[in-house]
Amino acid sequence: MKEVTMELTNVHKKIGKKEIIKGVNFSINKGEVFGFIGPNGAGKTTTIRMMVGLMNITEGDIKILGNSIKSNFHQAIKEVGAIVENPEMYAFMTGRQNLNHYARMNQDVTKDRVEEVIQLVGLEKAINEKVGKYSLGMRQRLGIAQALLHKPSILILDEPTNGLDPAGIREIRKYIRSLAENDGVSVIISSHLLSEIELMCDRIGVIQHGEIVKIQSLHESDEDAAGIVVSFEVDQAEQAKQLLMNELEADVQVRDHFVSVMLEKEKIPSVNKLLVDSNISVYQIQTTKETLEDQFFDLMGANTIE
C-alpha cells in the first residue's frame, strides 16, 4: 500500500448559491508528482486555496498526513509548502529579507537552511537585490525557495511554469523530479497547459466545471495496455487494408501508402509477418500515440467558463 500524503474526500465549495467545487476526491502518494489540469475557471485555484486553508471547505475534508486542514490547521499546514497563483513577495525587501521573513514564521528553519535553499534555486547572485527588480522567472524561483524552507512533505505549485523561459521550465522540471524521487516530496502542480507539465508528472487529474473528470497515470506500462496506433508503409495499401480488416476485425485506415490500425504493442511482429506472408512489402512501421494534449482537448470540448 502506498503512503498517502494528501487526501481529498468529497470536497465541496459553495460561494453564495453557486457550487464551484462539486465533490472532488483524490489522493496524492508520497514522492509522486501530480498534475492538476483544467481550463481557466474550472476550479483549480479554488481547490488549491482549500488545500492550504486560505478558503473554508463547505463540505468534505482535506487531510495532509492524516491531519485535517479544517480541524488541525497547525499540524497540517506545517507539512505544506505552496505558491498560490503568482509568487507575490514583498517588493521593497531583498530576496534574502523575504526568505528570512518566512523563515521566522516556521520553527526550526536555520540560517544555514535559508542559504541552502537559495543555492538550490540558484539565486545566489540576486538574493541581496530588492524583489521589485526581479524578473518573473526570478520571482518564481524565490517563490519555490520560500515554499521549500521548512522541508515540507507536500509542495503545492500553482502554475509554476508561468512566465518562465524554456530553459527555466526545464530546470524546474529537473528540480521537481529530483525532489520527488530523492527526497520523497509529493508535488501538486496545477496548469492549464498540459504540455508544459506532462513531462514531470507521474499522474494527472483533470478538473472541469468543479469536478474531476479523469485521473490518469502517465507511466509507460499503462499506455501499453491502452493500445497505440501503428502505421505500416506498404506497396499495396488497399490489399493490406482488406487483409488486416479480415484478420484483426479492427478499424483500418489508409492514407497514401500508410495503413493505420489500433494495436497492442505485442501484436506488431505477428501483423508484420501476416503482411509479409501475403507478399506485401513492408517498408517501415511507425507507432504514434494519441498525445495527452489530444485526449485533454477531447475531454474538455470547448473551453467554456460557466
Partner 1 sequence: MSKFFKQTYNEQFKIYIKKSTWVMYILIAALIIGLAFIELTYGEGDQSSAGDDWRTELEQQNEQLIEDNEQAAEDEGQNEFIIEMNNDQLAENTYRLENDAPPRGYSALDFVNDNAFLSSLISLLTIIIAAGIVSNEFKWGTIKLLLIRPISRAKILLSKYVAVLLFALYTLIFVWFLSLITGMIFFGFEGFDSTIVTARASGYEEVTLFTEALKTYGYSLVNLVMMATFAFMISTIFRQSSLAIGLAIFLMLSGNMIVGFFAEQSWAKYILFANTNLQQFETGNMLLEGLTLPFSLTVLLVYYLVFVTLAWLFFTKRDVAGQ
Residues binding partner 1 (CB under 8 A): 15, 45, 49, 52-56, 73-74, 77-78, 80, 82-86, 88-93, 97, 101-102, 104-107, 146
Give the residue with the Cβ less far from partner 1, 49 or 141: 49
136-148 helix and 166-183 helix, angle to the nearest 10 degrees: 10
User: How far is the first Cα of the chain from the last one, in angstroms, to the nearest whole number?
Assistant: 39
Neighbours of 47 (CB within 10 A): 27
Q: Scanning the structure block, which residue is given the C-alpha cell 504493442?
A: 265
Nearer to partner 1, 5 or 216 (CB): 5
- Closest to partner 1 by CB, 142 vs 234, is 142
Residue 142 CA, chain-centre distance (Å), reads: 21
CA-to-CA distance for 162 and 137, rounded, in angstroms? 8
Q: How far is the CB of 303 from partner 1 (least distance, A)?
A: 19
| 89 vs 240 by CB, closer to partner 1 | 89
Shortest distance in whole angstroms from residue 87 CB to partner 1: 8
CB of 55 to partner 1, least distance (A): 4
Residue 38 DSSP code: -
How far is the C-alpha of 268 from the C-alpha of 286, rounded, in Å?
Answer: 10
Minimum gap (Å) between residue 4 Cβ and partner 1: 21
- The Cα-based distances of 53 to 44, 77, 88, 97, 202 in angstroms read 14, 8, 18, 25, 25
Calpha distance 34→152 (Å, rounded): 16
In the bound complex, what is the minimum distance in angstroms from residue 98's beta carbon to partner 1? Answer: 9
Amino acid sitting at position 67: N
Minimum distance from residue 191 beta carbon to partner 1 (Å): 17
C-alpha radius of gyration, the chain, whole number: 24
Could you tell me the three cell numbers for 218? 502517465
Give me the least distance between CB of 5 and partner 1, in Å please: 16
Name residue, grid cell 505558491: 83
Please identify, using beta-carbon distances, which residue of 64 and 169 lies nearer to partner 1. Answer: 64
Phi and psi at residue 164, to the nearest 5°: -95, 150
3-class secondary structure, 99: helix
Q: Nearest approach, Cβ of 90 to partner 1 (angstroms)?
A: 6
Q: Which is nearer to partner 1, 12 or 78 (CB)?
A: 78
Cα-based distances in Å from 197 to 11, 34, 180, 282: 25, 10, 14, 37
